[in-house]
Amino acid sequence: MLNIIKASLWDGLEKNIPVNEEDFNELNNHSLIALPARIISDLELNNELRDRWNNLIIKQIAYYVKYLYMQDHLPIKVPYVILKGTSAAQYYPYPELRAMGDIDIITRREDCTTACDMLLKGGYKEITSDEDKDRKRQRVFIKNDVIVEMHSFFASVNDPGMGKRFDDLIIDNIQSSHVLPDLINGLILIEHINQHLEFGLGLRQIIDWMMFVDRCLPDEKWPEFQIHVRDVGLEKLAITTTRMCEVYLGLSEHQWCKNAETKLTNELMEYILSCGNFGHKLSIDDKVAVGRTIKLKHPIKLIKELQVLGLKNWGRANNPLCKPFAWIWQGIQLTKNTSGLIDTYSKGKRLDLMFDSLGVKRVHRGLVYYENGQYIKKESK
């Protein structure tokens, strides 16, 4: 799969690559199914798979055209910028081959409600989830099967000062073109990796970052970018991710990431390959492994976790006399499968150490929210 990605993005590489159903499924899991469109005729695969692949590519390109039309005709008349999406696709050799999801938008803080009202008046229907309403991070709208997410704040970090500095950089650089300057755009892309890494991130978001680096971050530009990425706590993540792209995905080498830790670089790629787009490939146990590891370090959190599981799994927990002891029952059940508990803990411990080494956002440390004109930190439950 990695050879297919490299041949799709970089000229001069061998394109006669044998491809099987597993490779196809892996590309699909990482939302990269259209990326090889220009080399698909050279790939070695059976006709049935090639026809199926071509049909998916056509569908994605058709959605890209629809997405562009909806984006170009947004009924928003206040200043705003597009985050990710086409702002990431512009760095690809063929932007239409980058899979599109939602249209992500941020306005100046005082214009957010007005922009949402303009979407509603323009025929969009609000579908904001209860979780989004609680966090107040974004409001979500849909029209013609295209989703628009209106962000009231973007950064997802553990420190209020850092969250404000990050969002200020975005808002202060809102332009009439609706596109951020390249270096600020790069911060968005590395922050997007930071946001989703803990619970699963695929190669599409990694390639977004890689194509930005290739186009916009040569060695002479790094010192200027380094000031910003260090200020928001993402310098090590940027360096390690870039080195990973050089080793595994064919990115040309950069001096500013040559000292990245080899072990950490390899662990990061192994983890990303296991995830799929936004953790699509991860099992429920994989997704909670880190959380359980953290709770094992804190007895009160562990008891609360066991109580929640016990209430769900123990048939007698409905009895008022038994209910307070559900955590004991659940603890006994876990000890019956010691190997499974040890495996979960070991996996969580490895990921816990990797995330700490990268300096990424961690949910258990409490996330920053923007409310009533202030950035405040809410502790995790």
Provide the whole-model pTM: 0.85
β-strand 146-151 against 138-143: which pairing, if any? Answer: antiparallel
Please tell me the predicted confidence (pLDDT) of residue 342: 55
The predicted model gives 230-244 an average pLDDT of: 96
User: Can you tell me the distance from the alpha carbon of 70 to that of 89, in angstroms, rounded to the nearest whole number?
Assistant: 16
User: Can you tell me the distance from the alpha carbon of 102 to that of 73, in angstroms, rounded to the nearest whole number?
Assistant: 15
The predicted model gives 203-227 an average pLDDT of: 97
Mean pLDDT is highest, among 113-122, 312-321, 350-359, for: 113-122
Please tell me the predicted confidence (pLDDT) of residue 285: 46
User: Can you tell me the distance from the alpha carbon of 118 to that of 139, in angstroms, rounded to the nearest whole number?
Assistant: 13
* Residue 293 or 160, more confident: 160
Q: Does the structure show a pLDDT above 80 at 191?
A: yes
Measured in degrees and rounded to the nearest 5, phi and psi for residue 259 equal -95, 15
Residue type, 332: I
Residue 290's pLDDT band, with cuts at 50, 70 and 90, is very low
Please list the residues that pair with 106 across neighbouring strands.
Answer: 81, 151
Please tell me the predicted confidence (pLDDT) of residue 352: 83
Contact of 104 with 189, CB cutoff 8 Å: no
**DSSP category for residue 91:** T
User: Can you tell me the distance from the alpha carbon of 79 to that of 266, in angstroms, rounded to the nearest whole number?
Assistant: 42
Point out the least confidently predicted range of 124-133, 308-317, 333-342, 365-374: 333-342
Q: How far apart are the first and last CA of the chain?
A: 39
Closest CA to 32 of 260, 317, 280: 280
Cβ contacts of residue 140 below 8 Å, gap of 6+?
102, 126, 127, 128, 129, 132, 147, 148, 149, 150
